[in-house]
Amino acid sequence: FRPTVLIESADSGSTDEADHPELGWCGGALRAGQATLSPLIPTIRCVMPTHDQPELPRDPAITRTIASHARRCLGVYAEVMIPGRVAVGDTLSLDPPHRSRLAATAGTAAGKLKRTVMRTVSAALPEGGKP
């Protein structure tokens, strides 16, 4: 993983959004230092980090853990809305996305449908995940 910015959160809890609050940031605005970012989409993690790395063996548990705890996502892609300097220790503020109850429900349903399709396709592929 090669994140541009790491954020330490005081949130804790047992739900995905409590453990991974960034999953709920998309559509909002993040302000840190002099910059403002617009989180666009969650970062879906591929298997690349599980491959052998110099000094580290292959570890498929990495993506399995992300899949089981964070819906295969870790982090978010964001667009810079207002460029500016961000420094270690800057406070981050979030203007949360404004979602209606209908939009939130539709988003949850779409996520469940996507996961079901991914599991179905994965099960249909021969061993090794290649057609």
CA distance 12 to 18: 6
Tell me the CA distances in angstroms from 37 to 81, 82, 92, 113, 114, one per residue in order.
Answer: 5, 7, 11, 29, 27
pLDDT tens-digit profile of 17-52? Answer: 557 788 888 889 999 999 999 999 888 877 777 777
Domain contains 124: no
Domain contains 103: no
Total structural domains within the chain: 1
Which residues constitute the domain of residue 28? Answer: 16-97
Domain contains 10: no
CA distance 23 to 39: 9
CA distance 67 to 4: 22
- The pTM of this model reads 0.58
Domain contains 2: no
